[in-house]
Amino acid sequence: MAITERKPLLLDFEKPLAELASRIDQIRQLAEENGVDVSSQIKQLEARAMQLREEIFSSLSPFQRLQVARHPRRPSTLDYIQSISDEWMELHGDRNGFDDPALVGGIGRLGGQPVVMLGQQKGRDTKDNIARNFGMAAPSGYRKALRLMEHANKFGMPILTFIDTPGALATVAAENQGAGEAIAYNLREMFCLDVPIICTVIGEASSGGALGIGIGDRLLMFEHAVYTVISPEGCAAILWKDAAKAPQAAVALKIISHDLKNLGIIDQILPEPTGGAHSDPLKAATTLKQALLENLDELRQLTSQERRQLRYDKFRKIGVFTEAAR
């Protein structure tokens, strides 16, 4: 199923926009009922609505951006894959007896070229979220991802990963099945793959669950997505014993795209439609496809050894700091 238009769910800071839109509809309806021409006034109000939307979304706090990244109507991994690919065939199973629905992947064509695409998949409603563990992959999910990446490496297909998870599945069963080992193994093996790897943060990317499919030559990130070592709520609960201080933690964690670009952690910010990716999913998908094709063209100019070195250098630089003399 490709991306389709859905009635949006309102976030708190979007309410003034909804109220203005409601007023415009009321004026238009009254004008039609009374045969009055108010087209010029309607245009002014619509221009004001667009201006207000741009003002709101250009000045969102980190915690508000987190709300946008978690929006239930935000395009998911499967939404993007099925919208940008020419062909798509989902593959299942980790070849060890499990198939994790929280992490999906398969073979497709992007711009006519074969690629392997995979990523975390959240649900659209409570029932779907429960079925997919809210996008929190079990160890079998990361083992399935590695199986698909090794397949891509064997047949020379670039790897595209889409990151959207609050973290890896944190249950006793997941720990018993080797959650830490599965993620760590993926980290090591992804550094060794010969084919181009492009990772894109499409929504909420948190903890090792995000990093488990996040080692690549290029790391792209949507404008209102977030990437963090721990959720702001979790950080606030640890530091201040108060999850209500999550907005303060969100600022300190530097979770937004512009901060991460300045820190050298991500390589490219993908602009979102005004109002977030959920306001115009098809436009967001077009932006993603163009960025992926451009980066793939650049990475194909490099040898496999150059790409591996690029990957290594990229992650060695993260966390480097200069200590000022006293």
Whole-number Å distance between alpha carbons of 213 and 138: 13
CA–CA distance from 264 to each of 182, 218, 219 (Å)? 27, 11, 10
Across the chain, what does the average pLDDT equal? 90
Q: How high is the pLDDT of residue 6?
A: 46
Q: Report the top-level CATH class of 64-317.
A: alpha beta
Q: How high is the pLDDT of residue 1?
A: 44
Residue 55 pLDDT exceeds 90: no
Residue 29 pLDDT exceeds 60: yes
Q: What are the φ and ψ backbone dihedral angles of 74, each rounded to 5 degrees?
A: -65, 135
Q: Which of 244 and 51 is assigned the larger pLDDT?
A: 244
**Considering only CA atoms, which of 197, 169, 168, 162 is closest in space to residue 74?**
162
Provide the residue ranges of all domains of the chain, joining segments of one domain with +. 12-59, 64-317
pLDDT, one tens digit per residue, over 161-190 is 999 999 999 899 999 999 999 999 999 999
Q: Which of 153 and 17 is assigned the larger pLDDT?
A: 153
Q: How high is the pLDDT of residue 33?
A: 73
Q: Which of 19 and 295 is assigned the larger pLDDT?
A: 295
Q: How high is the pLDDT of residue 5?
A: 44
Whole-number Å distance between alpha carbons of 187 and 274: 35
pTM for this prediction:
0.87
pLDDT, one tens digit per residue, over 134-159 is 999 999 999 999 999 999 999 999 99
Whole-number Å distance between alpha carbons of 165 and 121: 8
DSSP-derived secondary structure for 6-74? -PPPPPGGGHHHHHHHHHHHHHHHHHHHHT---HHHHHHHHHHHHHHHHHHHHS--HHHHHHHHT-TTS
